[in-house]
Amino acid sequence: MPVAAPLVLGIETSCDETGVALVRGNTLIAETVASSMDEHSRYGGIIPEIASRAHLEAMVPTVQSCMAEAGLNLGAVDAIAVTAGPGLVGSLNVGAAAAKALALALGRPLYGVNHVIGHAAVDQLVHGDFPERVMALIVSGGHSSLLLVDDIATDVTELGCTLDDAAGEAFDKVGRLLNLPYPGGPHIDRLAREGNPKAIRFPRGLTAAKFQEQHAYDFSFSGLKTAVARWVEGERDAGHPLNLPDIAASFAEAVVDVLTAKTIAACRRHEVDTLVIGGGFSANTQLREMAERRCAEAGIALRIPPIRYCTDNGAMIAALGSAVARANVAPSPLDFGVDSSLPLTTISLQPQA
Ligand code: KG4
Ligand code: ZN
Q: What is the pLDDT of residues 145-180, one digit of tens each?
A: 999 999 999 999 999 999 999 999 999 999 999 999
Cβ of residue 171 lying under 6 Å from some atom of ligand 1: yes
Cβ of residue 141 lying under 6 Å from some atom of ligand 1: yes
Cβ of residue 175 lying under 6 Å from some atom of ligand 1: no
pTM (two decimals): 0.95
Give the helix ranges, DSSP H, for 238-284.
244-269
**Helix pair 244-269, 167-177: axis angle to 10 deg:** 170
Cβ of residue 283 lying under 6 Å from some atom of ligand 1: yes
Going by alpha carbons, the residue nearest to atom 8 of ligand 1 is 280
Peptide bond into 6 cis (omega under 30): no
Going by alpha carbons, the residue nearest to atom 26 of ligand 1 is 284
Taking every pair of Cα atoms in the chain, the longest distance, rounded to a whole number of angstroms, is: 76
Q: Distance from the CA of 231 to the center of ligand 2, in angstroms? A: 31
Round to whole Å and give the CA distance between 11 and 59.
Answer: 9
Q: Is the pLDDT of residue 2 over 80?
A: no
The one-letter amino acid at 286: Q
The one-letter amino acid at 312: D
For residue 118, give the ligand nearest its CA.
2
Atom of ligand 1 nearest to the CA of 166: 12
Cβ of residue 274 lying under 6 Å from some atom of ligand 1: no
Atom of ligand 1 nearest to the CA of 142: 6
Q: Is the pLDDT of residue 1 over 60?
A: no
pLDDT in tens, 201-215: 999 999 999 998 899
Which whole number is the average pLDDT over 64-72? 98
144: nearest Cα among 25, 319, 282: 282
pLDDT in tens, 234-293: 999 999 999 999 999 999 999 999 999 999 999 999 999 999 999 999 999 999 999 999
CA torsion, ordered 306, 24, 129, 62, to nearest 10 deg: 30
Determine the residue of 137, 140, 304 to mutate for testing ligand 1's pocket, defined as the one with the most ligand atoms within 8 A of the Cβ atom.
Answer: 140
For residue 142, give the ligand nearest its CA.
1
Going by alpha carbons, the residue nearest to atom 18 of ligand 1 is 185
How high does pLDDT run on average in the chain? 95
Q: Distance from the CA of 17 to the center of ligand 1, in angstroms? A: 13
Round to whole Å and give the CA distance between 22 and 332.
Answer: 19
Q: Residue 260's pLDDT is what?
A: 98
How confident is residue 43, by pLDDT bands cut at 50, 70 and 90? Answer: confident
Ranges assigned E (strand) in the chain: 7-12, 17-24, 27-35, 79-85, 110-114, 134-139, 144-151, 155-161, 274-278, 301-303
